[in-house]
A and B are shown apart, each in its own frame.
Chain A
Amino acid sequence: MVPTLVILTLLVFGVMRVLPGDVATRMLSDDAGAVSMKGYSAEALREKLGLNRPLYLQYLTWLWDTARGNFGESLFTGQPVRDEVLQRLPITFQIALMAQILSLIIGIPIGIISAVKQNSWLDLVLRFWSIFFLAAPSFWLGLLVILVAALQFNWLPPVGYHPFWENPMANITQLIWPAVILAHGGLATTARMTRSTMLEVLREDYIRTARAKGLREQVVIVRHALKNALIPVVTLSGLSFASLMGGTVILEQIFAIPGMGLLFINAINFRDYTIVQGVVLVFAVIFMLVNLIVDLTYGWLDPRISYG
């Protein structure tokens, strides 16, 4: 994991530095961005940002600063990047987590039913539905839902963020909307995945043995088949957590939720490169952690796998 982490830092650093044109001139060239840098000339700015030093020195100082928690200051507001990012991280994380839970809670039972009653009308409906909804852009679906709700029921999603411990009801009623929309794609994939693994497992010999023993079908499914079928599903959903967090980016824009996604988009629009760098780095670390947890969980769930 460590080498991948190093490579990630190199990539993040590299992407921001190895770009056409000069960072300093670009920052000063628009009147939209880098407000806190306005007083400087291009040369002075380069000096200040340390862009005149050799590249490896820049990388090492950046790495050292970042490791100690100093992510630099926002070019737009002058505030420390770390504070801004960490303040918004829990919000985005919460949305992604809620979406993940929703897609698991709804997707797995649907997949199981679909597998058990294979080729019934329910199964066919589910398969068509998942094919359709995977192709549609999630934000479009969400907007359609809001549109229908607004037109039919005169209702709009709430605005104004409340942290969870301040006001759990308000928090959940606001965040549930992006979470539900986000859960769509994951739901379809989870259901399909569960269905296919269940079908495979149900063909195994030990299931036949269980049935031959005279166990009730329900017991066969829940106690014997389910555990084995769930292993790949869990790993897949763990890996898809990254794409859930990516998906919050658009939804935060639509619902005006002050999460990391919104921060990211605004930073891009305002050319606030330090924030962009910080956000990308935090995302990267989170994804690595999630992958690591998934790997470990997989090893724990399936006793046949052991890590030497």
Chain B
Amino acid sequence: MRAGQQARRWRSALIKLARTQPLGTLGLIICIVVIFLGVFAPWVSRYDPFVTAPFDRLHGPSISHWMGTDEYGRDMYSRIVYGARVSLYVSFFSIAIGTFVGYLVGIFSGYVGGKADELLQRVVDAMLAFPSLLLALTIVSVLGAGLDKVIAAIAVTLAPRATRVARGVVLSVKENVYVDAARVVGASPIRIMVRHVLPNAMAPFLVLASVALGAAILTEASLSFLGLGVPPPHPSWGRMLSGAAQNLALLAPWLMVFPGAAIMVLVLGFNLFGDTLRDIWDPKMRGR
């Protein structure tokens, strides 16, 4: 009896969500679909994306190859689905690391205050003055190529904003009466942080993360397009675009259309969902 009621409540909540925030629901659906495809890539794809087939090169979209084949005869649809895996992996990890490090620095900066805080904020300002692609390129130039290096580079581009958000949370919490009371009673700083700062930091974190996911994917695609991102053999949408643009766009337009469309769809999904989250949880950020 209770299970049925629960299920109905979920359903009506979802329907309400769909009606009031149609774009956000669309974004959520897109995200879920792409994540599903990425996670279950080996089962969803029809061919092995790494196996070359010299006799099937450069076929256009057809019944057997939904998105055609590339210059090595690999099935594009499978490559795109596996590429979703790579994009999601890179973006999730870079966001996780970037926001984690950024939050640590931000919380420290906000809590300690004073000169250290000012200094750290200047550093953050300096980093934010740079467009993220240039920052990422600089980091990659220093660290070299490689999957983990790309993740680190993108994480670095996201960390400054996370620092700002975390610091904001800490500053607003510091004024809180509860915190003063806790300090008077003798609670350790760690306890204060866990009980007061973290719960308030959750919502901004989710908003920041969902907005940053789109940016992370675009940065990864740009890096790969320039040849400085995810290395072969991992399929990367950005690198597929680069190969197509250089060699074969006129002969085989599908090589260029599909990876780019994939990027657009995924970023769109994250952006729409992130915008909706932001509207729900952080109305003062609207219009930014």
Contact = CB atoms under 8 A, between A and B. Distances in A.
Contact of B268 (A135, A245, A250): A135
B32 interface: no
A8 B129 CA distance: 10
Given A131-B272, A144-B257, A249-B137, A139 B122 contact: no
A140 B241 contact: yes
Given A143-B256, A264-B137, A276-B141, A137 B122 contact: no
A181 to B, nearest CB: 13
B142 A19 contact: yes
B35 interface: no
Interface string B225-259: 11110000000001001000100011001001100
B62 to A, nearest CB: 20
Contact of A16 (B130, B140, B142, B257): B142
A131 B270 CA distance: 11
Secondary structure at chain A's binding surface: helix, strand, loop or mixed? helix
Nearest to B269: A135
A78 to B, nearest CB: 20
Contacts of B125: 4
Interface string B89-128: 0000000000000000000000000000001001101110
B260 A8 contact: no
A135 B131 contact: no
A264 B142 CA distance: 13
B206 interface: no
Contacts of B199: none
Nearest to A268: B141
B256 A144 contact: yes
Nearest to A12: B138
Interface stretch (A38-46, A163-171, A208-216, A280-288): A280-288
B163 interface: no
A143 B241 contact: yes
A243 B131 contact: yes
B129 A276 contact: no
A291 B130 CA distance: 11
Contacts of A243: 131-132
Contacts of B130: 242, 246, 283-284, 287
Contact of A151 (B133, B137, B253, B272): B253
A11 interface: yes
Contacts of A287: 129-130
B151 interface: no
Contact of B264 (A8, A137, A245, A249): A137
Contact of B271 (A134, A140, A196, A242): A134
B78 interface: no
A265 interface: yes
Given A139-B225, A268-B141, A284-B129, 8 more contacts: A135-B264, A135-B267, A135-B271, A136-B263, A137-B225, A242-B130, A264-B134, A265-B228
27 contacts: A4-B126, A7-B123, A8-B126, A8-B129, A19-B142, A131-B23, A132-B264, A135-B264, A137-B218, A137-B263, A140-B263, A143-B245, A143-B249, A144-B256, A144-B260, A146-B249, A150-B250, A193-B287, A242-B129, A242-B130, A243-B131, A246-B130, A246-B131, A249-B134, A265-B137, A265-B226, A280-B134
Interface of A: 3-4, 7-8, 11, 15-16, 19-20, 131-132, 134-137, 139-141, 143-144, 146-147, 150-151, 193, 196, 242-243, 245-247, 249-250, 253-254, 264-265, 267-269, 273, 276, 280, 283-284, 287-288, 291
Interface of B: 23, 119, 122-123, 125-127, 129-134, 137-143, 214, 218, 221-222, 225-228, 238, 241, 245, 249-250, 253, 256-257, 260, 263-265, 267-268, 271-272, 287
Q: Which 6 pairs from chain A and chain B are nearest by CB?
A: A246-B131, A140-B260, A135-B268, A136-B264, A268-B141, A135-B267
